[in-house]
Amino acid sequence: MSTRARTIVIVHAGTSSPSSTKLLADRIASRAAELGDGHGLETEIRTIDLGALSADVSNALVSRFVSPALRSAFDLLRDADGIVASTPVYQAVPSGLFISFFQALDTDLLIGMPVVLAATGGSARHSLVTDEQMRGLFAYLRTMTAPTSVFAAPEDWSEGSLSRRIDRAATELLLLMQSDFATRLRTESWGAYQHRLGSAGGAETAIDLDTGLMRLATGG
């Protein structure tokens, strides 16, 4: 296990101040850092506030232009060791801004990245959103999503069950970060994944000539 410092990046789409969505993400990340301290592991926490990037995200989806501010956010995610992704839930779906941000992201950027999913909503009726909708999005991005997701309705904040769930998610995140899973996966099997032209790492330029179509094109 590497003893280098780890970086957790919080991505949240909270809209109020203070924001329960950000608070939930802060608790998960802080707990993971606290657990890391107990293992002699230094952890830094960085935050991406999507509210400040809303115009940049919209422009990126429409024009494919990535602003310097949005590029900085993407770079922060690329260099992270773990991510806590937190969104408010409206009418049983994650925030449109939250979804749009990850739709604008290079689909190769987060391969193997440890991620904890978190969400807040006004009712427990929204509690399945983390597993039914968010988990599918991050599966498409090929992240290593923690088994435990965390949802909090207003009545949950004073309940011990929320703290226990945060502990579980934070422990899973810490263990995945400690193992350097993302780095090892990319080093050992990056070429085994399908990549899009212009994607992260440049590995998409390594054309596989040993396919039926390429053999036909080259007269082989």
Residue-range domain boundaries for the chain: 6-217
Residue 2: the pLDDT is 65
Q: What's the mean pLDDT in 169-178?
A: 97
Q: What's the mean pLDDT in 148-160?
A: 92
pTM: 0.86
Distance in angstroms (rounded) separating the CA atoms of residues 139 and 135: 6
Q: Which are the contacts of 198, defined by CB distance < 8 A and separation ≥ 6?
A: 204
> Does 106 have pLDDT greater than 80?
yes
Residue 85: the pLDDT is 98
Cβ of 215: how many Cβ atoms within 10 Å? 11
Assign domain 6-217 one CATH number from 3.30.70.100, 2.40.160.20, 3.50.30.30, 3.40.50.360.
Answer: 3.40.50.360
Q: Six-digit token pair at 1?
A: 């296990």
